[in-house]
Structures are given as structure tokens and as C-alpha cells.
Amino acid sequence: MFFFQIFDGPTSSSAAIYPTFVKLAEPVVTRYIRILPRKQSDPFHVMRLEVYGCLKEPMPSYFVPDDFSRRSYLLNNLTGDFYVCLYSDDRTKSSCQYTRDGYTWKKLSKRIVKVLALDSRNFAIYGLDRSNSYLRLSGNDWTVISLKQWERVQLSLTVILARDVPENLLRKDHIGGEIYESSNGYQWAVSHPGVNMKSPGGNWVLVATWKCCNH
């Protein structure tokens, strides 16, 4: 199977100073890449190419709703729990875990593939399971809720929605400079390598890495 896409590069010496970033129209799983020059702007006869990618990550084989993403995170700034989800197609493993100090991690139910939101009023956690069902965690029990219930939840002023991690994340620093601080004084940020944590009075430390993007 072949995949073709035309890329436009710089056409002047001033434009060539800065790299031109082009995103593939769709994800491609490949071992080799061939570049075929189609046109050149005189007097340029040199081409440089860098390809950014990662190891193949699993995706569900079924249709997934817009709420699904392979990587996401959410902070409960009242309890200090920082939730991180990385989808796993292994049903014996948990896709979502949470921590308060970056070193001790607790696993959520193996059926949950993404934490969707937190209600700061009653500390209820909302998630998505492997069958595309929306669930609500209250206490220790996950309860299925309807799509209409989930849509109402999203409109609540007390609900904090999880943040998705872009698939084409290239930055090694914090995403958009976003830093989250919990009531226990810990600060959290997400970057290309993984999850970063700063304890009170401490320095930034990488406490977890994405499986596809270790460097």
C-alpha cells in the first residue's frame, strides 16, 4: 500500500532560514519514506528533510466518539490527584492511573480507557469504557450513564474536563506553558516526553513518559 502527498517547501533564501512544518493528511505506518522532488526554485538545488514520528500506538478497532483520545490528563486540585490516561488494547492492563506525588501511582478499573471529567462539587469522576459507554464513578463503583446525561454534565459550571494530548506534539517543554497546581502545592505539566511534576520547593522532574515518545 502506498501513500502520496505533495509538500510545498520554501521558495526563497529568506524563507529557507526557517523550517516548514507539514503534517501528514492521515497517520501512516511505514518503515521507509521516499521523497520525489517535483519542482525546484532556482538557484536552490539542496533539500533537507526531518521526519517526526513515534512508535505505533494501539487504537481501538471499533468506532470511537469524539470524546476519545489516546492520551489525556486531568487534575483534581482539591485532593491533589493527577490522572493520566494512555490507551492500552491489552484488557489485562489499566489505561488510566493517578498520583499525588508523581511516584506512587494507583490504577483505575481496566475497563476505563479515558477519564473524561471531574465534578468539583461532589468529586464524581466521569470516564469512557472499552465499549464506548459513559460512566460515573462515585465511591468505588462505576455506573453507566446515558449520552444525554453526559451532555448535561459537560454544561455544568462545576465540571472540569480532561485535557487531550495532541498526537503531533513536538514541544519538549510544557504544552503551551500550561502549569497546573493542586492544593497540596504540587505543580504539574505535560510535555512531549511525558508528565512533569514539581514538588513544593523542588525542581521540575519527569515522573512518567509516554510509551511512544521516550527520548
| pLDDT in the model for residue 39 | 74
| pLDDT in the model for residue 110 | 92
Q: What is the pLDDT along the chain (215 residues), one digit of tens a residue?
A: 566 778 777 777 777 777 777 777 777 777 778 888 777 766 666 777 777 766 566 656 555 566 677 889 999 988 899 999 998 888 898 999 999 999 999 999 999 999 999 998 888 999 999 888 999 997 788 999 999 999 999 999 999 999 988 765 555 555 456 888 988 899 999 887 889 999 999 999 999 988 754 44
Task: Report the predicted TM-score, pTM, of the whole model to 2 decimal places.
Answer: 0.69
Please report the DSSP string for 104-133 in residue order. Answer: SEEE--TTEEEEEEEETTTTEEEEEETTS-
Q: What is d(CA 148, CA 137) in angstroms, rounded to the nearest whole number?
A: 17
C-alpha cell belonging to residue 30: 511505514
| pLDDT in the model for residue 165 | 83
| pLDDT in the model for residue 57 | 60
Q: What is d(CA 165, CA 25) in angstroms, rounded to the nearest whole number?
A: 19
Measured from the Cβ of residue 45, the count of other Cβ atoms closer than 10 Å reads 8
| pLDDT in the model for residue 56 | 60
